Structures are given as C-alpha cells and as structure tokens.
A = this chain, B = another copy of it.
Amino acid sequence: MSLKIALAQINFLVGNITANVDNIIKTAIYARDELSADIVVFPELTITGYPAEDLLFRSDFIEVANNAIYQIADGITDVAVVVGFPERDGDNLYNSAAVLYQGVILACYRKQALPNYGVFDEQRYFTAGIQPCVFEFNGIFIGLTICEDVWKNGIIDANKEAGAELLLTLNASPFNAGKIHQREAIICQQVKAASIPLFYVNQIGGQDELIFDGASFVANSQGHIVFRAKEFQEQISVIEFDGNNPLLSSCAPLYKEISSEYNALVLGIKDYVRKNGFQGAILGLSGGIDSALVLALAVDALGHDKVEAVLMPSRFTQDMSNEDAIKQAEILGVKYHVIPITPAVNAFTDMLAEVFAGTAKDTTEENIQARCRGVILMALSNKQGKLLLTTGNKSEMSVGYATLYGDMAGGFAPIKDVPKLLVYQLARYRNSLCEVIPERVITRPPSAELAPDQIDADSLPPYEVLDPILERYVELDESAEEIIAAGFKRDDVVRAINLVDKNEYKRRQSPPGIRITSKAFGRDRRYPITSGYRGI
C-alpha cells in the first residue's frame, strides 16, 4: 500500500476566509489532478491564516470559519484534504486539523501543545486538546499533529503508541535567522527517536511582523530529510509514502543565513504592500547605508516602478550624500524627488523663536529637521496611496537613536530588526549579486546629519561594540554584569542599556517591522514603559 501526499506550502491572507477557502479548493484540485495526490496537507489554521489574533474572539468570524470546513468538504472529491481551522465546541475553541474526504469529516485533531511565549499567544484563544488522533486512510494509519506538538517530548510517541505509521504536521512556524536548521534538527531527532516518518508543511508569507518561510519537509523514520520545499516561495509538491517510508524526492538546498535574511526582508515588504493594498512604496533616501539597503530591498520586493525615493537635504547634508542617493536611485531606475527641508525648518524656527528665546540649542532642533522630513514623506504617501517605509535599524531602535514622527514616521519598518552590522552585511550581500548600492555608502562613517560634521560614533559606542552588547541585553536577556563579565567595558554597557531601558516609549509608537532575529521589538518583547527597573 502506498500513498501520495501533497504538501501545500501556500501564502494565505489572515482573516479572508472566503479567499482562503477558494485557494484551498483550487490547490487541492491541482494536487489531485496534476500531481495525482491522495492527500493534500495545508498549514496550521489554514482557513483563517495565522495568526488571526483577536479576530478569534469574534463569534461571526468563528462561525464562518467552522462553516468553511463543510464548504471544502463539499467542494472537492477523490482527494483527502487536511486543513487547520479554529474549531468551536460549546464555549471552547480548539486549534484543530480536520481531514475531509468525500464530503465528510474523516477525523479531527485538537492541538495539544499551545505555545504562549515569544510571539505566540495561543493560550489566549485556545483550549488544549488532550489526546492524539490517528485515522486510517487507504489502509495506512496516519497521525495528526500541529506545530508545537512535534517540538515537545511525548506527543509523537503517543501517536506511535496509538498506531500511527506516519505523521502529518500542520505548521505556522515563523522565520528567524537559524530557525530552519533548528527546526529540522529538533524534529528529525524526535522522528528518529520514535522511528516514524513525518510530513511537515509550513505556511509561507509575511503577516505584519512575522515571516513564514515555508521550507516544508519530509523526514523518514531514520530522521533523514528526503524532501524539502523552497524557502520563501509557494510550492505544492507530492511525496510518495511506500507503506514504510517516504521515498526520496527533491530537496531544495538551504540558503546561507545572509541570503535567508535578505529574502525574508524582501518577502516581508512584498506581502505587507500587496496584502494591504498599497500602490507601491516611498522612502526618504539620505545617502546613508540604512535607506540604501531599504531601497534595494523595496525594489527587489516590488519592482523599480513601484518605488519612489525622496531626497530631503538640509544644510547639514553633505554633497556626497546627495550624490550617492541620486546615483543609487539611477542605478535602480526609481523615480526620485529632491525636496530641501530648509524652508520648513526656517518656518518652525521663526514660529518657535519667541517661546524658545533664551534656551540653548539641543536635540529639539535636530528633531525638528527629522520631523519636517516626516511631514513631507507622509504627504507624498497620503497623496499617492504609497506605503512609507521607515529606514531605522535595530541598533537605532534599541538605543532610541531616531526621532518619533520624524525618521520613525511610516507604515512599515523593514529593517527594524536588523542590527547595524548586519545592515552592512546585507548591503554587501546584495551588491555581491549585482552592485545596486554605491560603494561609498557602505564605506563612509555612519551619520544622522542632523548637526555639523556629526557622526554616530560621537554619541554611541562603535557598532562593533554596541551590537553585541545589544544582542546580549535585548535578545538574550543577559544582565549588565553578565555582559561586562563577557569582556565589554562597563561604560559602554551602562550607556547602551540605559538607552535601551529609557526608549521603550519610542519603540511603542514605531511602525511594525520584519522579525528576523530570535527576539524582535514588538509582540516578542513586551516591556512596560513606566518602569523603575534599570538594568544597571
């Protein structure tokens, strides 16, 4: 007895149940007719998309999602369809997977391990299932599991004990650097220990701050990968199970980390723009490395004709900044505008002259410049229906080296979770494919150009020092003393983490950005603004 199992690594839109149901039926028909699939397996919570967040509290939404199961069951014959959906049973909601075949629900499994850490809030919505679900299909006993289930000890074993000969796993496992290796390593180890083959299908696509990377795979009972789908792309593939094990199929090679990160950022921009119906994107192009990288990403995501750059020089802007910005816009073939900000800055300076009389110049004046740029960019965004991309990186977001409503103004922050050193690496990586960022942008010292001859290193430790401190403090939750013990200067550590602590209020108002590290600012790291905690 053998079985052809299709993994449907599809990009769904959260909340649009009607479109998702159509997509499921269309995909299942394709898998049946073109790939001769017996079963087609979709990702976790297929019908609603993942994560649907508090939409799951809406009874109208849940009702539509539950009815959708019958629509799908009635909508296709001669192939079994395994879909995820939020299953209502009385007052309880379950994160469930249903097997639909010839108009009936053949089996329904309720996820047992509900993650409630990091970016996950599943215990806010769901009740945990309490038992495995093994169903027979074409004489083969198949166990159902959902995402976190196969990361935990015990659930795979329980399926095996319940008679499962193979496991199907529905997933919405978000990307971060290194995650694919971690995912395969942990799950293959479990599979090998239990000696049971596993078919793992992951969602792909961008959803606000999360990127789902796909990379669906099949592991045989020895824990070897015998199939892997591409990262960051939709793919529908069939893998044959011969009664004992899945047969060796195509294995997409894994990207290098830098390439995965770049592709994740491109997909994140593309899906945010597309799924939210924007006409394209605009950004302020300063001649610095951050906006240069965001421009390159945006063009790769949307195409050069959908992206617009705005140069907004001030009297502190060096000529080479303008030259480099124009050069990059021309290389990439994007439309650009040059709008000097001096008239607006002067207007505000005059308007505030009386109330500011007798006060010393400070960051207030720098912020006014940044905010004039924010007003210009938002005006262009509003007028054209284009998404304004902010260009701040994670190092800046950490220490608050950015102006609220100034350079932080915008709808989406693509490199918000990219530390400055990685910004450079990504720029070099992109140029290694073909040069789109002028070399001088990468080699000159970084500066906000908000005051004469200002460079970042005047007010911050060098990024070679700052970034590792921030990684330890923000991502790894290390204490100041631990960081100092690891060899960093006390002064640098104190300065950096004081800034992180004090700038939570700014981050709270920043636009969402793409998560590519193990802990991004956003739903991943929830700190109080009002806080007497000082890391040092």
Interface string of A323-337 (1 = CB under 8 A from B): 000000000000001
User: How many angstroms from the CA of A532 to the CA of B22 in the assembled complex?
Assistant: 14
Query: Given the complex, which residues of B lie within 8 Å of A532, measured CB to CB?
Result: 13-17, 19-20, 49, 275
A240 within 8 A of B: no
Q: Taking the nearest CB of chain B, how far is it from the CB of A339, in angstroms? A: 5
Q: Which of A140-148, A292-300, A340-348, A422-430 contacts B (4 or more CB under 8 A)?
A: A340-348
Q: Taking the nearest CB of chain B, how far is it from the CB of A490, in angstroms? A: 15
Query: Given the complex, which residues of B lie within 8 Å of A271, measured CB to CB?
Result: 530
User: How many angstroms from the CA of A13 to the CA of B508 in the assembled complex?
Assistant: 20
Cβ-neighbour of A123 out of B53, B123, B344, B527 (below 8 A): B123
Q: Taking the nearest CB of chain B, how far is it from the CB of A182, in angstroms? A: 19
Cβ-neighbour of A116 out of B57, B123, B206, B526 (below 8 A): B123
User: How many angstroms from the CA of A528 to the CA of B481 in the assembled complex?
Assistant: 38
**Which 6 A-B residue pairs are closest in the complex by CB-CB distance?**
A16-B532, A15-B533, A60-B479, A15-B531, A405-B405, A347-B347
17 additional A-B pairs beyond A275-B532, A339-B352, beta carbons within 8 Å, are A14-B531, A14-B533, A20-B532, A60-B479, A60-B481, A60-B482, A207-B528, A207-B530, A208-B530, A339-B351, A344-B347, A344-B348, A351-B376, A375-B375, A508-B511, A509-B511, A512-B529
Q: Taking the nearest CB of chain B, how far is it from the CB of A282, in angstroms? A: 11
Question: Contact at A272–B530, with CB atoms within 8 Å?
Answer: yes
User: How many angstroms from the CA of A53 to the CA of B378 in the assembled complex?
Assistant: 33
What range describes how many residues of A lie at the interface?
35 or more
Q: Which of A224-232, A358-366, A434-442 contacts B (4 or more CB under 8 A)?
A: A358-366
Q: Known contacts A344-B347, A528-B52: does B477 contact A58 (CB below 8 Å)?
A: yes
Q: Taking the nearest CB of chain B, how far is it from the CB of A121, in angstroms? A: 7
Query: Given the complex, which residues of B lie within 8 Å of A186, measured CB to CB?
Result: none
Query: Given the complex, which residues of B lie within 8 Å of A207, measured CB to CB?
Result: 528, 530
- Which of A15, A347, A368 neighbours the largest number of chain B CB atoms within 10 Å of its CB? A347
User: How many angstroms from the CA of A273 to the CA of B493 in the assembled complex?
Assistant: 28
A459 within 8 A of B: no
User: How many angstroms from the CA of A355 to the CA of B378 in the assembled complex?
Assistant: 13
Query: Given the complex, which residues of B lie within 8 Å of A16, measured CB to CB?
Result: 531-533
Q: Taking the nearest CB of chain B, how far is it from the CB of A184, in angstroms? A: 25
A505 within 8 A of B: yes
Query: Given the complex, which residues of B lie within 8 Å of A181, measured CB to CB?
Result: none
A367 within 8 A of B: yes
Question: Contact at B379–A348, with CB atoms within 8 Å?
Answer: yes
Interface string of A38-52 (1 = CB under 8 A from B): 000000000001011
Query: Given the complex, which residues of B lie within 8 Å of A49, measured CB to CB?
Result: 532
Q: Taking the nearest CB of chain B, how far is it from the CB of A392, in angstroms? A: 14
Question: Contact at A54–B348, with CB atoms within 8 Å?
Answer: no
User: How many angstroms from the CA of A246 to the CA of B378 in the assembled complex?
Assistant: 62
A411 within 8 A of B: yes
Interface string of A189-200 (1 = CB under 8 A from B): 000000000000
Q: Taking the nearest CB of chain B, how far is it from the CB of A150, in angstroms? A: 21
Query: Given the complex, which residues of B lie within 8 Å of A337, measured CB to CB?
Result: 355
A82 within 8 A of B: no
Q: Taking the nearest CB of chain B, how far is it from the CB of A269, in angstroms? A: 12
Interface string of A299-322 (1 = CB under 8 A from B): 000000000000000000000000
Query: Given the complex, which residues of B lie within 8 Å of A52, measured CB to CB?
Result: 528, 533
A35 within 8 A of B: no
For A206, give the chain B residue with the smallest CB separation: B530
Q: Taking the nearest CB of chain B, how far is it from the CB of A307, in angstroms? A: 15
Query: Given the complex, which residues of B lie within 8 Å of A526, measured CB to CB?
Result: 53-54, 121, 124
For A60, give the chain B residue with the smallest CB separation: B479
**Which residues, 1 to 39 on A, are CB-close (under 8 Å) to B?**
13-17, 19-20
User: How many angstroms from the CA of A16 to the CA of B19 in the assembled complex?
Assistant: 50
For A531, give the chain B residue with the smallest CB separation: B15
Q: Known contacts A350-B343, A380-B355: does B479 contact A59 (CB below 8 Å)?
A: yes
Question: Contact at A356–B344, with CB atoms within 8 Å?
Answer: no
A372 within 8 A of B: yes
User: How many angstroms from the CA of A512 to the CA of B325 in the assembled complex?
Assistant: 36
Q: Taking the nearest CB of chain B, how far is it from the CB of A38, in angstroms? A: 30
Cβ-neighbour of A477 out of B57, B341, B356 (below 8 A): B57
Cβ-neighbour of A528 out of B14, B374, B380, B505 (below 8 A): B14
